[in-house]
């Protein structure tokens, strides 16, 4: 056999071997794709919460990974914690823009110097008792929710752990005391905060703060204050019930109830704190003279005439 005939034959043999190897590799990949990986099956069972065997009788110990717990963790850490700073920050920015554009609600007439009682001493004490506890709960609650990402850099790991341990105790004890104050406020001020059709007129121009329309006739409590009152009641019920479920896991509630309670508690708490900015704003720089009513218990007649004219008429009839 000549050299010319050997070279084409060797080339054909080489390419044939390559094709056989590729064909065998393709068959192997096809067979591997059709064959289920037993390790993958095991992991699917673990992630789906399929229980195994354990001699421990406590709830959930037969399941290696609680899939609901993973979902709760992602919802809390990736959604609630990431959105909360934006919600609070945008609310503060919106309030600042509103004040710069609209400005505070100044008194249209000069003060008369004549003061009229708006709240009695024990009502003032009840308001500030609840307000101080609310501030404590807001600070400690946000620290528990956001502190891991925000406060470790400030206090360090050991300092943050010590602060959080104290904050958790303060938060848990302040909660029931706050709810007691809210309950008393609901009993004392329920009658003044009953919604009426005339309250809709207040929302048209924010009680005269927006636009040039006339101020609607208003009783002792305006529609904005009523809105805050009922928001406080609803939010307190939400955080109160879920807080007790989280603090006392001895009433038979399972993990799902605890996880849902934690999410509701966090969301309701964040919205409660965010809404409080509007109440604080209107009670301080938002409306001239309003802070005097809840600090000293008395307001100037000029303020009452502008903000609570129907209530002023009732007080004058009582003289």
In the chain, the N- to C-terminal Cα span, in Å, equals: 134
Burial of 59 by CB count in 10 Å (0-12 exposed, 13-18 middle, 19+ buried)? exposed
C-alpha 263/C-alpha 252 separation (Å) is: 19
In this structure, which long-range contacts are made by residues 241-244, counting pairs with CB atoms below 8 Å and at least 24 apart in sequence? 242/268, 243/175
Phi and psi of 14, rounded to 5°? -65, -50
C-alpha 48/C-alpha 50 separation (Å) is: 6
Same domain, 100 and 13: no
> Is residue 149 one of the residues assigned to a domain?
no
Residue 197's domain is classified under what CATH number? Answer: 1.20.950.20
Same domain, 21 and 93: no
pLDDT in tens, 74-110: 888 888 988 999 999 999 999 999 888 888 888 888 9
Percent of the chain past pLDDT 90, that is, above it, reads: 46
Query: How crowded is the C-beta side of 57, counted as CA atoms within 13 Å?
Result: 0
> Is residue 158 one of the residues assigned to a domain?
no
> Is residue 53 one of the residues assigned to a domain?
no
> Is residue 144 one of the residues assigned to a domain?
no
The number of domains in the chain is 2
Note the pLDDT of residue 1.
Answer: 46
- What is the separation of C-alpha 40 from the centre of its chain, rounded to a whole number of angstroms? 38
> Is residue 179 one of the residues assigned to a domain?
no
> Is residue 165 one of the residues assigned to a domain?
no
Same domain, 7 and 73: no
pLDDT in tens, 52-69: 666 656 655 666 666 777
Same domain, 22 and 71: no
**DSSP conformational letter for 221:** S
Residue 132 has pLDDT above 50, yes or no: yes
Same domain, 8 and 114: no
**What is the DSSP code string of 42-103?**
HHHHHHTT-----S--STTTT-SS-HHHHHHHHIIIIIIHHHHHHHHHHHHHHHHHHHHHT-
Structure tokens at 63: 């399941």
Q: Are 65 and 45 in contact (CB under 8 A)?
A: no
C-alpha 315/C-alpha 80 separation (Å) is: 48
Same domain, 206 and 252: yes
Same domain, 250 and 290: yes
Strand 115-117 with 298-300, pairing? antiparallel
Residue 42 has pLDDT above 70, yes or no: no
Percent of the chain past pLDDT 70, that is, above it, reads: 81
Tell me the C-alpha to C-alpha distance, in Å, between residue 95 and each of 89, 99, 121, 274, 301: 10, 6, 31, 11, 28
Same domain, 74 and 31: no
Residue 121 has pLDDT above 90, yes or no: yes
> Is residue 59 one of the residues assigned to a domain?
no
**What is the DSSP code string of 90-136?**
HHHHHHHHHHHHT--B--SS---S-EEE-S-HHHHHHHHHHHHHHHH
Of 13-27, 188-202, 300-314, the one with minimum mean pLDDT is 13-27
Note the pLDDT of residue 4.
Answer: 45
C-alpha 300/C-alpha 52 separation (Å) is: 73
Average pLDDT over residues 279-304: 91
Same domain, 227 and 299: yes
pLDDT in tens, 196-226: 888 888 888 877 788 777 888 888 999 999 9
Which residues have CB under 8 Å from 243's CB, separation 6+?
A: 175, 265
- The residue among 102, 106, 104 whose CA lies nearest residue 302 is 106
Determine if the pTM surpasses 0.75.
yes
For residue 273, what are the domain limits?
A: 67-118+190-318
> Is residue 279 one of the residues assigned to a domain?
yes
Same domain, 202 and 280: yes
Note the pLDDT of residue 125.
Answer: 97
């Amino acid at each position: 056999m000549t050299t010319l005939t050997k070279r084409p034959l060797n080339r054909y043999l080489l390419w044939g071997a390559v094709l056989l190897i590729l064909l065998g590799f393709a068959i192997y990949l096809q067979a591997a794709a059709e064959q289920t990986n037993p390790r993958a099956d095991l992991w699917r069972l673990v992630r789906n919460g399929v229980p195994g065997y354990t001699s421990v009788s406590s709830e959930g110990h037969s399941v290696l990974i609680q899939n609901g717990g993973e979902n709760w963790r992602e919802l809390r850490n990736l959604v609630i914690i990431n959105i909360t700073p934006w919600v609070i920050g945008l609310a503060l920015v919106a309030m600042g823009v509103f004040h710069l554009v609209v400005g505070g609600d100044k008194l249209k007439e000069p003060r008369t110097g004549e003061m009229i009682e708006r709240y009695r001493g024990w009502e003032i004490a009840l308001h500030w008792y609840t307000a101080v506890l609310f501030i404590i709960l807001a600070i400690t609650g946000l620290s528990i929710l956001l502190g891991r990402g925000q406060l470790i850099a400030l206090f360090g790991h050991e300092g943050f752990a010590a602060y959080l341990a104290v904050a958790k105790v303060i938060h848990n004890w302040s909660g029931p005391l706050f709810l007691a104050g809210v309950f008393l406020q609901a009993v004392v001020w329920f009658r003044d905060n009953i919604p009426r059709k005339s309250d809709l007129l207040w929302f048209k121009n924010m009680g005269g703060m927006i636009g040039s329309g006339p101020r609607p006739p208003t009783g002792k409590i305006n529609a904005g204050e009523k809105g805050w009152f009922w928001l406080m009641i609803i939010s307190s019920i939400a955080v109160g019930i879920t807080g007790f479920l989280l603090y006392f896991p001895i009433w038979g509630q399972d993990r799902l109830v605890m996880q849902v309670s934690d999410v509701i508690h966090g969301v309701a708490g964040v919205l409660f704190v965010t809404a409080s900015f509007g109440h604080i704003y209107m009670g301080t720089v938002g409306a001239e003279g309003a802070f005097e009513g809840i600090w000293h218990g008395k307001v100037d007649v000029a303020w009452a005439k502008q903000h609570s004219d129907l209530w002023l008429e009732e007080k004058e009839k009582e003289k």
